[in-house]
Structure 1
């Protein structure tokens, strides 16, 4: 029954895309970015855990390996975005000279998206075997994907730390997903592991806040109009409310998890769930304002529906993987 509902919702979005391709394309982009952030964040942890000894290996390894299995879905998640490129990316209808024109050509964009998905799946096969080489390759792949999928949405906007923003979110989402898995799988988690998970989440939250603030500070200190407009559209109207929700939510998670009671299981579980929900909010915040500078309720609602359909699909995939692993044991 759940599969039929998921299929019906997906088909409904496809049919709606014939009427509003821009809304569906933007929503699919936000949902694909959110889904890939979780999968790539788990892949980052899966590559990292074999290289560092300690109590956090058995804590994060099962959930991170499960989450990283979804990297195979990166290409299918971005297929609706590739189909609706003319309504999503402003450079699609403009030819630029030289290397910029080649890089921002539709066929090369499609090729790079397929390459990012293929490389992610390749790195998934390197877990535990060539993890060090995988980490070296992970950083440029994730950074270039962030530039292509999100930074290119707004003409003239350039940020040297934009890729790091997405890597910070991927790390945070990966920790939250792996932590939520181990919390759900264990009725009682040892106190040491609760303290360890709380420390990792607080560190990742602080890192996310730091890199976000550094980009904000640098852009406003340089004060170039073609760059400051990226924040201006996110500080007014409905997008301003979304910005406030994202910043306040991240700060609340940091304060609650860093508090004396932040190592309790129910607090950690709530914190991990809130971080993943805020990741979905951030993917909308990063994509939609650049496409629709004036907040559009229809586009926002379509993005939320796309997030739901993608989340249901990912959950079904992870559930099948988990059941298969339990059966193999």
Structure 2
């Protein structure tokens, strides 16, 4: 290879993606750039090579067709990009230093991970955590994620999932909640101001107020009154501020209960969630030292009271 030649790495990625999708727009969505940017990178590569790589149609559906020379070279380019990725992965696996890309939900970050993360950073000061919070299931490969904690049934295609923590679901309120004196039995909850958590779809097994009340023996009336919030941390905060009774997830409410900011109602009614928290990562990253260290630290923290 001529070492004085410019290295068009991004242009090669743009070319390969455009060839696979048959369009600049399809490649743009994958690479998270504009179609114009993809087209510009491909044109720059063509100018450097001194030959076209695609036949562009001037009418009809905007679909690209590889030239004969480009089609012959495509397999080698793909192999080269794959080998480059493997080489970078080996460099990343060589130690515990550098950046560890972690994804969790906003509520798990606020209520569990961030209050404890100093202990990990004290143990591994050479590892920098880059935290991405999202309620959506992020594509690990596309977003460069190394490891995450997900709440669900443990089945996510293409990923390894190890159970981290199980949890209970129970009602909580502020110790100063004005209506607490009128809640003597679970049936009274249906007539109280309730805070509903909309952050997880009940279709996958998330316990709602109606489900909890039925488990507590309340079969008449429905829990309709109150606030509806799509963030579990905000649900607990609303309860702390005395705005109603929240249906808490034990893992997220643990610190607030211990600090006395919340109190549990009807502890004799025990309802376990079918869902749990899992440490989730790509199988090919399982030997990454900083991932293993972070995973082991999560497991240790989960065992603490």
TM-score band by shorter chain is: under 0.3
Structure showing the higher strand proportion among its residues: 2
Structure showing the higher helix proportion among its residues: 1
Give 1 or 2 for the bigger CA radius of gyration.
Answer: 2
Greater RCO structure (CA 8 Å; 6+ sep): 1
**TM-score of the superposed pair, with normalisation by structure 1:** 0.25
**TM-score of the superposed pair, with normalisation by structure 2:** 0.26
